Amino acid sequence: MSKALPLEPAPDLRGRLALVTGANSGIGFGVARRFAQAGAEVVLAVRNPAKGEEAARRLGGRVRVEQVDLASLSSVRDLCDRLNAEGRPLHHLVNNAGILAPPQRSLSPDGFELQLATNHLGHFALTGLLLPLLREAGGRVVSVASLTARTARLSPEDLQGGTYRPYAAHGTSKLAQLVFALELDRRARRHGWGITSNAAHPGGVVTNLQVTGPTLGGHRAGLAARLSTRIYRLPGLGNDVARASLLPFFAATGGRAEGGAYYGPAGFAELAGPPARATIPARARDARTAARLWTASEELTGVAFPGSGD
């Protein structure tokens, strides 16, 4: 078990702008609710606008909906074009949207494996294209990783290769997201971008991810999805959505949350509990792997950050 970090008073975020991807349900909705309750203006970046509008009505406050499909680079660019045209400084970006373990290999509109496209490449492009707004605000970027990153493998030169295994592919996409978060902070410091980046994982939590991924294409949810759903509902072995949403929110706003850090639950095996420092997998700490992933991600998305090639 990790030592829980001291609880902090709710921050006053009036006058600040936050964008949360996948914010119409689950952890994303919980994070958006925390931002709204703290007084921030919140952009719900969602794939389904109707579901986003329903979420906005439930949240109240200064909340608006923007459509984006993280699996589609053209959709990501369209959203970023709209936000950059507005020119509003962006104080908080929470890269949360994700898909979990489709039973069969599916491709994004750009030809990438769907989990890699949604969980990592879309967020990589989103962050790069919104970097001017983040820099203007001295913003903080939080990437929501997963416990599946612990045992995942990552080959930056062959991100989509090999036999497709649903949960292994999910782990790879989430490990890539974690590596990106840590490398983004390193590069921000090196190049003086004036932003910070960290990551958080929610522990064991049951959301619609356990249903939407494993049932894509009309398939029944797999054994792993059904088993994890039951386990995470046991006392001490899972967070509910309200508590799980505290992890990314703390990473995005907490005074004790640092750039280049990784946060997860303080309880047994990082499955449940309040925020604490999470264990960073060895593969996520390797600077050479991070540099290779960064280069591959820029090539695949066509989005280059300042200082690329340094």
Instruction: Point out the residues that are catalytic.
Output: 164
Spatial separation of the C-alpha atoms in residues 44 and 242, rounded to whole Å: 17
Token pair for 55: 């979420």
Q: CB-hemisphere CA count at 13 Å for 77? A: 7
Pairing of strands 63-67, 92-95: unpaired
- Which residues have CB under 8 Å from 50's CB, separation 6+? none
Kindly list the strands in the beta sheet with 41-46, ordered across the sheet, starting from the edge strand earlier in the chain. Answer: 63-67, 41-46, 17-21, 92-95, 140-144, 196-200, 262-265, 275-277
- Which residues have CB under 8 Å from 98's CB, separation 6+? 22, 115, 118, 119, 144, 146, 173, 174, 209
Q: What is the CA radius of gyration of the chain?
A: 18
